Chain A
């Protein structure tokens, strides 16, 4: 996930949010949207969410559990946890570099 996979495309950001949400525990679509809104402020619409779920399932980073009525919970797989860890490490590097570079500096770099 650190490298941009063409299959994820514009869903890369959403996929990360979904993996973070599922890392806490199994959730169905409605609960995932609520959780993602709470921790990131991002309000996902169903088309975007299920576009990302489709790709994550295809890569076997999440798996669907048996449906309860009309709601099907999803679970992060060990491969999904690895991919999440890799992506978070990349984000940490970006954050550290960005913070360092954003500090006021004197003279030309």
Chain B
């Protein structure tokens, strides 16, 4: 566990490691390192990357800030276009390499993509219950907007889940696995809308915060699911066309960028609704 902890420190930005790396390594060598510690360090790495400008001595980076909603909004049609290009090349899409390993990889990938979509959807369930309970007392305000928006978002998200879980877009293991990588970020982006609205009402703070945590994990799960998909692509690459490979590689990059953005937005939803007073663990 201690070694794993040291490896997670390697995920932090270089300026952060130069400034705090030795101190944290020292802490890990003197305290028990548990799964909770590794999860905390992993969240810390995401936080350090997304707030690099705050690292003392790191200097303010001259980066152009693009709103997350614009990134997710532009990513969705880009992903669908790239999927359209990839799906047109059926021989490449069905080029799963022979043997047991590719089928296991495809199964891991598809399951992880489905789990990512499920988590993103289930994350908003407590929020909807909370909003429904509030609406019974008062028929205006943010809870009503949340409940009104839910059915409109449920349709495309449900389609994504059905298509990925039910072999709706491709029958071959490779095609089915990578289809998830194109669909899951769309579901993630849509599922973020409800917590984004709910965070405007402090009454829904608790369920918005839990939705943020679960959706950040869903984004992480979706990003992880690309690993076996990429391995599958490498195994089958000799029989795939260059055009197909380029479309899927661009799709993977776009999908991962959307996952990273979705994770950042989810963590921001969590942060925006934290209680002001210190609470004991």
Give A residues with C-beta under 8 Å from B: 4, 6-7, 9-10, 12-14, 16-17, 28-30, 33, 40-43, 45-48, 50-51, 53-55, 57-58, 64, 67, 69-72, 90-91, 94
Q: Are A12 and B274 in contact (CB under 8 A)?
A: yes
B30 an interface residue at 8 Å Cβ cutoff? Answer: yes
B271 (CB) vs chain A CBs: closest residue: A9
| Residues A10 and B20 in contact in the complex (CB < 8 Å), given A30-B30, A41-B281 | no
Q: Sample 6 A-B pairs with CB under 8 A, ordered by A number.
A: A42-B278, A45-B40, A47-B44, A54-B55, A55-B51, A91-B277
Tell which of A6, A16, A45, A51 has the most Cβ of chain B within 10 Å: A45
Q: Are A71 and B23 in contact (CB under 8 A)?
A: yes
Q: Are A9 and B272 in contact (CB under 8 A)?
A: yes
A15 (CB) vs chain B CBs: closest residue: B278
Q: Which residues of B lie under 8 Å from residue A14 when comparing CB positions? A: 278
| Residues A40 and B278 in contact in the complex (CB < 8 Å), given A33-B31, A47-B44 | yes
B53 (CB) vs chain A CBs: closest residue: A58
Partner of B23, one of A12, A13, A28, A43: A28
Interface size class of B (residues with CB under 8 A): 35 or more
Partner of B48, one of A4, A9, A17, A54: A54
- Nearest chain A CB to B265's CB is how many angstroms away? 13
B67 an interface residue at 8 Å Cβ cutoff? Answer: no
Q: Which residues of B lie under 8 Å from residue A4 when comparing CB positions? A: 276
Interface residues of B in 232-281 (CB under 8 A from A): 267-268, 270-272, 274-281
B56 an interface residue at 8 Å Cβ cutoff? Answer: yes
B122 an interface residue at 8 Å Cβ cutoff? Answer: no
Complex Cα distance A41/B281, Å? Answer: 7
Complex Cα distance A71/B270, Å? Answer: 31
Q: Are A51 and B47 in contact (CB under 8 A)?
A: yes
Q: Are A51 and B278 in contact (CB under 8 A)?
A: no
Q: Which residues of A lie under 8 Å from residue B280 when comparing CB positions? A: 40-42
Q: Which residues of A lie under 8 Å from residue B42 when comparing CB positions? A: 47
Known: A16-B278, A42-B280, A67-B22. 5 other contacts (CB 8 A): A10-B270, A30-B30, A43-B281, A47-B44, A50-B24
Q: Which residues of B lie under 8 Å from residue A51 when comparing CB positions? A: 44, 47-48
